[in-house]
Amino acid sequence: MQERVTIYGMMLLAVVSCGVAVCAAEPAVVGSISASIDREIATALKSRALEPAPRATDGELVRRIYLDLLGRIPTPTEIDAFHELPGSDRSHGLIDALLAHEEFPVYWRGVFDDWLNGGALERDFGREGFLQFLQTALTENRPWNEIARQLLAPDVTREEERGSAYFLALRLRGDGGERLDNMTMAVATGLFGLQLQCAKCHDHPFVDELKQDHYYGLAAFFGRTQEAKYREFPLVKERAEGEVSFTTKSKEEKSARLLFLDNHEIAEPERPTDKNAWYVKGSDGLPDAPYFSRRQALAEYALRADSAYFKRALVNRVWKQLLGRGLVEPVDQMHTANPATHPAVLDLLADDFAASGFDIRRLMAAILHSETYLRSTRWETSGELPRAGLYAVGVLKPLSPEQLVLSMHQASGSLEPLRAKVARELKDQTPLAIAVRMQLGRDRDWQDFAQRFRNQSEGFEATAAQALFLSYHSLASKPLQPRQGNLVERLIKQKDDEAAVREAYRNILCRAPTEQELLSATDFLKDSSTKRETLAWDLAWALLCSAEFRFNY
């Protein structure tokens, strides 16, 4: 075992030191941004006479960083490798290593899909291609404005962009009257951090800058978009004519202008008199392209480095994903009536994000390396727990459905048989870790399991349905069935009860048991009136169902 740990530690160290992670090329710049975040947060806390919680322990941080970057808990071997990293501040080395890890884009493609599409689990036409598009983009660290452009105006003549058309095509599958609304709202919330429903029938009643003209101005960019029938992948096409009109509160009929959220109006060139010049012929059966693409015009204007809505929206979503609460809450209400708790932090990160060429990994690194992110979730100071928006103490985050499913597999040891099965079947050059996770994503049983937890609240309690599901459904116990080499089978065979308890805690909770936990669990395993198989299963099940396992702390 020691040899395996050492080898893994050397591999982890190699990733850290070789600069594979994009952020590693400019650690001084990233460190400066992180320090600026901490100064702003500290100033706000000082003004309220609050002392922040200390940094989390190494044991807490290794678990937190693995969950946040790879979507799963670490293995005992990975925990040991973390402790072998040089220096006293190992968390920074681990952050850089996991930002460069092959599993990072596989997990984060699901996070981005959740932001853009609500993370629907249905395997409909084009979904797998869309996930692959996101995964490839994140693997390449493709700039966010380029990814967004490929969502708004995909160039399907380029193979790497074809999966992106699913984003709009998905919204074109409803009833005719809903399609335009679906596209408009998906773009407004997913890319610009705004819910515009309240500005559809009249000017927004609470937000002065959001008018009915803005809702239909954004809609006008998509009014000519249609789904194109194509067998191989989803496609959208755009007509060269067609206007969007709406009725004001005063019953006036208006034709929508091409108006962005910041009041910039885009002028459409005059349509050619010769109808033959309205379209450029598509190749290989692909749709014809209009002489002027409204969606392309929107992408060129709205995704620029000085577009406040665009650059701030993703910063706020990433911040919430990592720290448990957005600088603006809710994340789709980024307007003047709902200011950021720390506007200077939001502006600092948004400006650096744009200046870096919309480098997603650098944005994440700046947040992750801050003491604000590394803070403990334990508040041991006298007085009330400060509200989450002050970031005086870390926020307890319920595991997402994907994190929960994968971590249950990891903890129980059921990933190993799946890894062996996938390795035997692997026909292409897909890295094994990626292939295993993709296989899990296609498993209907585990999709159903994840769906049970998809709409969980941010509070501490599981819903009644979730609690019953964990307690009685066979799917929840599936990873714990004794199989060759998995955790429960090892616990059954382990004759030393203390060693069995330590192994269960280390694999499931990523820590050693306390003295009292060790004593209680050891006494439990000594129950001679119950079969060893049942005792081992019950111990593992109790730890998997615990609040400690189900939260990221």
Domain boundary assignment for the chain? 2-105+308-395, 160-302, 401-552
- Write down the pLDDT at residue 463: 59
pLDDT at 404 over 50: yes
Average of per-residue pLDDT across 229-236: 78
At 118 the pLDDT is 83
Tell me, what amino acid is at 372? T
Q: What is the pLDDT of residue 23?
A: 45
Between residues 296 and 452, which one has the greater pLDDT? 296
> Which has the higher per-residue pLDDT, 68 or 458?
68
Confidence at 230, pLDDT banded by 50, 70, 90: confident
Q: Are 66 and 72 in contact (CB under 8 A)?
A: yes
CA nearest 99: which of 15, 38, 165?
15
Residues 535, 348: Cα–Cα separation, whole Å: 54
- Residue corresponding to tokens 């030191």: 17
Least confident of 2-11, 59-68, 294-303, 350-359: 2-11
What digits encode the pLDDT tens for the residues 59-93? 999 999 999 999 999 999 999 999 998 877 899 99
The phi, psi pair for 245, rounded to 5°, reads -125, 160
Per-residue pLDDT, 340: 98
For 415-436, how does the pLDDT look when each residue is reduced to its tens digit (9 = 90+)? 766 666 666 666 555 665 666 6
CB 104 within 8 A of CB 98: yes
Q: Report the b/e string of 92-112 with b at 16+ CB within 10 A.
A: bbbbbbbbbbebbbbbbbbbb
Averaged pLDDT for residues 139-164: 93
The CA-CA-CA angle for residues 89, 77, 319, to 5°, reads 50
What tens digit of pLDDT does each residue of 355-402 get?
999 999 999 999 999 999 999 999 988 788 999 999 999 999 999 888
Read off the pLDDT of each residue in 171-189 and give the average, rounded to a whole number.
Answer: 90
pLDDT tens string 498-544 = 999 999 999 999 999 999 999 999 999 999 899 999 999 999 999 99
- The distance of Cα 77 from the centroid of its chain, to the nearest Å, equals 25
**What pLDDT sits at residue 24?**
45
0.75 exceeded by pTM: yes
Which of 86, 141, 56 minimizes the C-alpha distance to 362? 141
Q: What mean pLDDT comes out for the span 126-150? A: 95
Confidence label for 488 from pLDDT (cuts 50, 70 and 90): very high
Q: What is the mean predicted confidence (pLDDT) over 407-420?
A: 82
* Helix/strand/coil (H/E/C) assignment for every residue in 100-118: CCCCHHHHHHHHHHHHHHC
Look at residue 96 and tell me whether its pLDDT is greater than 70.
yes
- In the structure, what pLDDT confidence band is assigned to residue 450 with cuts at 50, 70 and 90? low
Using 50, 70 and 90 to split pLDDT, how confident is the model at 130? very high
Confidence band, pLDDT 50/70/90 cuts, at residue 143:
very high
Which pLDDT score is estimated for 433? Answer: 61
In whole angstroms, how far apart are CA 88 and each of 30, 98, 143? Answer: 20, 18, 33
> Cα separations (Å) of 362 from 22, 26, 27, 296, 307?
7, 9, 9, 27, 19
* pLDDT at residue number 86: 83
Does residue 1 have a pLDDT over 70? no
CA–CA gap between residue 214 and residue 208 (Å, rounded): 12
What distance in Å separates the CA atoms of residue 388 and residue 173, rounded to the nearest whole number?
A: 39
Say what the pLDDT of residue 481 is.
87
Residue 412 banded pLDDT, cuts 50, 70, 90: very high
Q: Tell me: cis bond preceding 272? Omega within 30 of 0 counts.
A: no
Kindly tell me the sign of the dihedral angle through the C-alpha atoms of 210, 211, 216, 220: negative
